[in-house]
Amino acid sequence: MKTSRLLLVLSLLFVIALPAVAQKKLKTAQDYFSRGFKYSEAGKLDLALADYEAALKLDSLECDIYNNIAGVFSQKKKFDIALQNYSKAVQCAKSMRNDQKASIFTLNRALCKHEMGDYQEAIKDYSLLVEVDSTTLTSISLELLYLKKYDDAIQNAKKVLNLSKVTEDAKASAALHSAYAFMFKSDIDKALEIHKANQDYQFGYASWKEYVKQDFTGFRKAGLPTENMNKIEALLGIAQAK
């Protein structure tokens, strides 16, 4: 879920294009939806929300609208309202028998629940996706860490490694989450061993070290044990996450 340099460039282009878009007379739900998306990319969240709601009045069966409304409320840190709209998006996609979109919206809902600190509920949504994508087990491992169920996180990570078909990124995620679990269990030697072996790994969107910095920030914010984090940071040569 990382932001790319390309996305930053596109966001700037959207800002430049907004005046021309705003002058266009809007007629359809797609017109409002498209402009709302561009407003959202430009950080004009209230304008985006107004356009999405206008689109919804014209087409209440367009499930993407609920999803994007939820995204705006997530950006505004109003996660309770975001959650309601992600659920509407999921139900809408199911009613339209669009399993692919239902899965995407369920994933977004799980991420929203995580931001709300409702890790057990996030696991429920991830569990719904395991049949669609078994590597979702890696996300469950992370939620188990936040619940301080470290042994369960390790066992769940092992399930990923035992899958018949698993990507290199999924294997690396499983290893990373296992390392966190060992760290929290104060088996620091085992944790350091895993980090040392994988510290140069490059995921699709970020490096191993970048993920550690990001995750440590989340762990500290959630009040998880921090006494061994500095040892990992020293090994990886990364600044302490704030």
**Within-domain flag for 54:** no
**Within-domain flag for 242:** yes
Q: 184 to each of 141, 155, 230, 240, 241, how far by Cα in Å?
A: 13, 15, 12, 17, 17
**Within-domain flag for 96:** no
> Residue 220: which domain range?
162-242
In tens, the pLDDT along 36-64 reads: 999 999 999 999 999 999 999 999 889 99
Mean pLDDT, the chain, integer: 90
Q: Among 227, 40, 1, which residue's Cα sits nearest to residue 52?
A: 40
Q: Among 118, 168, 112, 176, which residue's Cα sits nearest to residue 142?
A: 176
186's tokens: 């104060």
Cα-Cα-Cα-Cα dihedral sign, residues 24, 29, 32, 37: negative
Q: 145 to each of 88, 102, 130, 176, 179, how far by Cα in Å?
A: 29, 26, 18, 11, 11
Q: Is 71 helix (H, G, I), strand (E, B) or coil?
A: helix
Q: Is 77 helix (H, G, I), strand (E, B) or coil?
A: coil
pLDDT of residue 239: 73
Q: Is 71's pLDDT higher than 50?
A: yes
Q: Is 221's pLDDT higher than 50?
A: yes
Q: Is 162's pLDDT higher than 60?
A: yes
Q: How far apart are CA 208 and CA 161, in angstroms?
A: 18
Beta strand extents in 34-189 (DSSP E only): none
pTM of the model: 0.86
pLDDT of residue 24: 66
Q: How far apart are CA 42 and CA 53, in angstroms?
A: 18
**Within-domain flag for 230:** yes
**Within-domain flag for 128:** no
**Within-domain flag for 78:** no
pLDDT of residue 42: 97
**Within-domain flag for 126:** no
In tens, the pLDDT along 169-184 reads: 999 999 999 999 999 9
In tens, the pLDDT along 115-148 reads: 999 999 999 999 999 988 998 999 999 999 999 9
**Within-domain flag for 123:** no
pLDDT of residue 93: 97
The total domain count for the chain is 1
Give the pLDDT mean for 216-228. Answer: 96
